[in-house]
Amino acid sequence: MLSIRAAAVVLAALLFCGCAGLTEGSRLALTPAGPSDAQGVSAYRETSATISRCGAPVTYSIFEPNAYGSDWSKVNNRIAFNRTASDGYYHIYTVRPDGTGLQQIGLGSPTFPGRTVGSPAWTPSGAFLAFVAEKTTPIPGDLKGDTFAATPGWGGYSDLWIATADGSHAWQMTDLPAGNDDGVLLPQFSPNGRLLEWTQKMKGPDGGVDWSLKIANFNVSAAGSPYLTDIRTLAPGGSAYPNEFIETGGFSANSEEMLFTSDYQNHLFVENQIYVVNLLTGAVTRLTTGGAYNEHPRFTPSGQIIWMTDEKQPLGHPGGDDWWIMNADGSNPLKLSEFNTPSSPNYFGKTVYATVVNTDSWGTSGSYFYGDVELNLVTSESDILRVSLTCH
């Protein structure tokens, strides 16, 4: 899943369209958890120690070229992802972890959306996939809709959908206005299967973009149809923050905490920070500080946090992000990859933006994972890597 900076770079020049909004449930106000929310933990102390028995240095191979959005269902033994096809749309595919058995889901299904789809996320049971899909109603005068704005990870002109594992049946969960600034990003299920989170953006009354964290109860009817109840907005600090960027991360293993990225405190998009919210108490703790760009935090199976940042990139090679890993309280951060360091064996040969590593996408041993790297912020060119850690 690509960095949201791609959307910031490209979509700023697009025209906007606004219509009726989504009916939502209650608003959950989140309150800061004392001084740590204001000051944060120093997230960039130099350290040579590994956080767990597996860490840096890493090695990698390209698992799926020209693809991203990887999420691994151990139950189904399938990795889901999105990539563009010859028709110009993104489609969702699944493949085994060894790279065999490639399949496109939803092919030929009358209920599956027919334009761009992506950002697949498995339920823990493997029975369903949540994903984002380009609006089925085209913009007047444009029979193809707005595939460009609906690029998975950008969040424009799109809705939240849920489908069966093979895509034979699909159900639309939201119906947002048909605008480039209105849409859904990065759905994710809680490990207990009871909650579904996503990022939502809508054009605000002042013409800016209002970002929000959404969370809902996930249900399945007796007939086998998924549906959501009690859709609510998580508002850090006790209120909404119009025009401030905020984006969901992943759930903790006990489904009681959720990571997110935001600039709601420092009001500076290029210095987004990582936070964790306790869903039971509403307490928010800031985990990173400093002048770096931070995004896409996810818990690892061992309870640590992996995220992308441009902190400490080498001189003479501006741009790019690498994966870092830290403890759940923000302590002991460690740079995991060196994609943008010319002297490193990890060097990609060009600027690389390491993005999402979903919790499900780790091997059970904790020694490897499947993760996305973006190679071009404008075209969304990306690869899925299989990354091996050094274990001690």
Cα separation, 136 vs 302, in Å, equals 40
Look at residues 292, 277, 298, 149 and name the one whose alpha carbon lies nearest to residue 215: 277
Strand partners for 274: 261
Q: What are phi and psi of 49, to 5 degrees?
A: -85, 145
388: pLDDT strictly greater than 70:
yes
**Per-residue pLDDT, 27:** 40
What does the angle CA 249 – CA 176 – CA 206 come to, to the nearest 5 degrees?
85
Give the number of other Cβ atoms within 10 Å of residue 65's Cβ.
Answer: 11
CATH 2.120.10.30 correct for 5-16+24-391: yes
Q: Could you give the count of Cα atoms lying within 13 Å of 334 in the half-sphere of its Cβ? A: 21
Least confident range of 30-34, 127-131, 207-211, 240-244: 30-34
**Per-residue pLDDT, 39:** 35
252: pLDDT strictly greater than 50:
yes
Residue spans of the domains in the chain: they are: 5-16+24-391
- Per-residue pLDDT tens digits for 157-190: 999 999 999 999 999 999 999 888 999 999 999 9
17: pLDDT strictly greater than 50:
no
Handedness of CA 282, 362, 45, 269 (dihedral sign): negative
Three-class HEC string of 123-191: CCCCCEEEEEEECCCCCCCCCCCCCCCCCCCCCCCEEEEEEECCCCCEEECCCCCCCCCCEEEEEEECC
**Per-residue pLDDT, 21:** 29
Q: Which one has a higher pLDDT value, 12 or 133?
A: 133
**Per-residue pLDDT, 7:** 55
Cα separation, 7 vs 37, in Å, equals 28
22: pLDDT strictly greater than 50:
no
Looking at the chain, the whole-number percentage of residues with pLDDT higher than 70 is: 82
Q: Taking the model in full, what pTM does it have?
A: 0.88
35: pLDDT strictly greater than 50:
no
Residue 206's pLDDT band (boundaries 50, 70, 90)? confident
- Per-residue pLDDT tens digits for 211-232: 999 999 999 999 999 999 999 9
In single-letter form, the type of residue at position 103 comes to: Q
Average pLDDT over residues 38-46: 35
| b/e 2-16 (16+ beta carbons within 10 angstroms → b) | bbbbbbeebbeebeb
**Per-residue pLDDT, 207:** 82
**Per-residue pLDDT, 205:** 83
- Per-residue pLDDT tens digits for 294-336: 999 999 999 999 999 998 776 655 679 999 999 999 999 999 9
Structure token digits, residue 307: 């995220």
Mean per-residue pLDDT of the chain? 85
